[in-house]
Amino acid sequence: MNKNIKIFDSTLRDGAQGEGISFSVSDKLKIVKALDNLGVTYIEAGNPGSNIKDLEFFEKLKSIKLETSKIVAFGSTRRKNISTQEDTNITSLLEAETPTIAIFGKSWDFHVTDIIKTSLNENLKMINDTITFFKEKGKEVIFDAEHFFDGYKSNPDYALKALASAVDAGADAIVLCDTNGGVFPQEIYEITQKVCELFNVEVGIHCHNDCGMAVANSIMGVKAGAVHVQGTYIGFGERCGNANLSTIIPNLQLKMKLSCIPHKQVKNITSTARYISEISNLKLINGMPYVGNGAFAHKGGMHVDGVAKASHSFEHISPEIVGNKRRFLMSEVSGKSTVLPLIKKVDSTISKNSPETQSIIDKLKELEHMGYQYEGAEASFELVIRKLLNKYVSPFKIDSFKTIGEHSIIGGNFTASSIIKVIVDKKEEITAEQGNGPVNALNKSLKKALEVFYPELKEVHLTDYKVRVLDAENATSAKVRVLIESTDGKKTWTTIGVSTDIIEASLLALKDSIEYKLMM
Ligand SMILES: CC(=O)SCCNC(=O)CCNC(=O)[C@H](O)C(C)(C)COP(=O)(O)OP(=O)(O)OC[C@H]1O[C@@H](n2cnc3c(N)ncnc32)[C@H](O)[C@@H]1OP(=O)(O)O
Ligand SMILES: CC(=O)C(=O)O
């Protein structure tokens, strides 16, 4: 492994500036522990001068011992025309008692004159005074040069003076920020290289994703000599977000052979991303590089065939390296190689060239044409295979059902009821149930009837129910596709139903869900 790159995670500071993000103190503590476990160098925990929650969080952090990471408190240079001691934002940074302080300051002349409205000289003094203050208190100080690239392009002399002012005061690192996220990779490379030549201090890079370039820009910064990379772990942040560290870390560590986190932690890159997304209440983007659920999902039949023969034919790395998984998706663009593992689960004697394999593929394509989509509903597709191979007979029959929705005219709740008749081993069972809607009532009555024969169904409950209108141009006569996710507490499975009637589509998916559970 070549030189070390320091990873600076700002999920709790710049990430918290992202739309829809609101961490509780306990969420923040969990994220700190996850990042420390992963082994990033710095965790920027927030801005203690900003709000009571951050203050409380920094108080809690004082009693927490971390294994690898250093906690960073973030704040601005002192306000104009006052001393550092008089500035409450500066004193609150000190009271946070962190080993490291990140100070952001202006390096674009326009921001100095038109946003903070002070003189160019006073801004240089604000940077110098603030960093001197913290260095005298024995702190490690990182200087974030806000808008550095835009500033350099507009007035390079002044932008470099801002950096010099920080270095003269003893800054341990100067971080070049593409605050507006509008700079292109080649410019990042050239400007970072210039700064690395001019200053004998650690140079860092902090990129925003407004042009979709934040990861590429961070990599170009490193190629130009930066040894410290700032971002947020799964890329969220203000506007279009920050550089995504769950992409950058494996890019640096696996592709460029630069050490960022302890090598034994690389396999935890995916689980950390999923944990942080869950705490943040944000769904992880399916195709997020390295860590997304679909990052190693193969759908095209020829690709699945290639991966089955040699995984590197369509994978840039093995998913297990970063703790992710390979998935093969069933669909109308599948070939025999995709369905074969599922067929073999039912009958191991069937091969790729058996006639049964071709007839199953033909059936898959016919059903997908009718509106079924099996890539998320493998349980239903396994039942299709079993039925086609004559290896399955449903243990129950739904003889009839009726659902009634009731609306109270004078207000009150909408209720629905369902009556169902099932037959198991020639024995009939008729039940009725109420629900908060017809599908809910139907699900309850079906389960109640079948639980008489199969008590194990008591463990099963629905965890997700999705409806999609398939041919919207047909308005109310359109087909609908219902996907149901079920669990028994140990396993989770997904089933599908398609019909022009939403109740019937739901019943088909519910029936498959119960059949699959009884078959397990
Ligand atoms: C690029 C970045 O991500 S920088 C970080 C941005 N993050 C945040 O702003 C989140 C945390 N911020 C906050 O909680 C609040 O803005 C606070 C508590 C820090 C300040 O609140 P207020 O005092 O009410 O000021 P307000 O937010 O309205 O305006 C910002 C002030 O900071 C000043 N300021 C902005 N940048 C700097 C800087 N680098 N150095 C010194 N002062 C600065 C502005 O000039 C303005 O001062 P003014 O009121 O005298 O014009
Ligand atoms: C410091 C920072 O977050 C920025 O300039 O984008």
CATH number of the domain where residue 504 is located: 3.30.160.270
Question: Which ligand ends up closest to the CA of 113?
Answer: 1
Confidence of residue 33 (pLDDT cuts 50, 70, 90): very high
Q: Which of 253, 280, 307 is the last residue of a domain?
A: 280
- The Cα-based distances of 518 to 4, 392, 445, 452 in angstroms read 54, 11, 17, 14
| Chain center to CA of 32 | 17
* Residue 498 sits in the same domain as residue 409: yes
Ligand (nearest to CA of 102): 2
Distance CA 146, CA 483 (A): 47
Give me ligand 2 centre to Cα 240, in Å. Answer: 13
ipTM over 0.90: yes
Position with higher pLDDT, 489 vs 389: 389
Read off φ and ψ for residue 396, nearest 5 degrees: -140, 165
| Closest approach atom of ligand 1 to CA 104 | 39
* pLDDT at residue 281, rounded to an integer: 87
Same domain, 254 and 316: no
Average pLDDT rounded to a whole number, residues 152-173? 98
Same domain, yes or no: 496 and 442: yes
Largest CA distance in the chain: 92
- Given ligand 2 and candidates 17, 42, 179, which is best to mutate, with the most ligand atoms within 8 Å of its CB? 179
Residue pLDDT, tens place only, 230-289: 999 999 999 999 999 999 999 999 999 999 999 999 999 999 999 999 899 888 999 999
Q: Does one domain contain both 446 and 364?
A: no
- Is residue 104 lining ligand 1, measured as CB closer than 6 Å? yes
Count structural domains, the chain: 3
Q: Whose CA is nearest to atom 48 of ligand 1?
A: 116
Q: Is 104 inside any structural domain?
A: yes
Q: Which of 388, 411, 432 is the last residue in one of the domains?
A: 388
Ligand 1: residue whose CA is nearest its atom 34: 116
CB-ligand 1 contact for 116 (6 Å cutoff): yes
The residue out of 368, 388, 408 marking a domain boundary is: 388
Domain-embedded: residue 289: no
Contact 416, 440 (CB under 8 A): yes
Q: Is the pLDDT of residue 31 over 60?
A: yes
Q: Is the pLDDT of residue 413 over 80?
A: no
Kindly report the number of other CB atoms within 10 A of residue 410's CB atom: 4
Ligand 1: does its nearest atom lie under 6 Å from the Cβ of 151? no
Are 360 and 431 within one domain?
no
**Cβ(50) – ligand 1 distance below 6 Å:** yes
Of all protein residues, the one whose alpha carbon is nearest to atom 22 of ligand 1 is: 50
Q: Which is the closest atom of ligand 1 to the Cα of 49?
A: 18
SS3 of 368-406: HHHCCCHHHCHHHHHHHHHHHCCCCCCCCEEEEEEEEEE
Question: What mean pLDDT do residues 348-364 have?
Answer: 95
Whose tokens are 């790395």? That residue is: 317
Q: Which of 260, 199, 249 is nearest to 224 (CA)?
A: 199
Q: Answer yes or no: do 341 and 488 share one domain.
A: no
pLDDT, mean of residues 46-64: 92
Q: Do the domain assignments include residue 287?
A: no
Residue with CA closest to ligand 2 atom 6: 179
Ligand 2 nearest-atom number relative to CA 147: 5
- Quick check: is 288 in a domain? no
Please check whether residue 414 lies inside any domain of the structure.
yes
Do 364 and 460 reside in the same domain of the chain? no
Distance CA 282, CA 334 (A): 31
Confidence of residue 436 (pLDDT cuts 50, 70, 90): confident
Phi-psi map region of 7: left, alpha, beta (phi>0 left; psi -120 to 50 alpha): beta
The reply to whether the predicted model has a pTM over 0.90 is no
Confidence of residue 410 (pLDDT cuts 50, 70, 90): low
Helix (H) or strand (E) holding 30: helix 25-38
What pLDDT shows up at residue 409? 65
Ligand 2 site residues, Cβ closer than 6 angstroms: 14, 104, 144, 146, 177, 179, 206, 208
Q: Ligand 1 atom closest to Cα of 179?
A: 1
CATH number at residue 101: 3.20.20.70
Could you tell me if 373 and 428 lie in one domain? no
Tell me which residue of 34, 66, 67, 490 sits closest to 270, measured CA to CA: 34
What is the residue with the minimal CA distance to atom 30 of ligand 1? 116
Domain that holds residue 453: 397-519
Residue 463 confidence (pLDDT) above 90: no
What's the whole-number mean pLDDT along residues 52-58? 91
C-beta separation of 486 from 492 below 8 A: yes
Do 80 and 158 lie in one domain? The reply is yes
Which residue has tokens 């801002």?
162
In a domain? residue 285: no
Residues 275 and 306 in one domain: no
Task: Write down the pLDDT at residue 516.
Answer: 97
**What average pLDDT does range 334-352 have in this prediction?**
94
Give a yes or no: residue 290 inside a domain.
no
With a CB cutoff of 8 Å and minimum separation 6, the contacts of 182 are: 150, 210, 211
pLDDT at residue 78 greater than cutoff 60:
yes
pLDDT in the model for residue 95: 95
Residues 366 and 236 grouped into a single domain:
no
Atom from ligand 1 closest to the CA of residue 147 = 1
Does 500 reside within a domain?
A: yes
Task: Identify the nearest ligand to the CA of 75 by its number.
Answer: 1
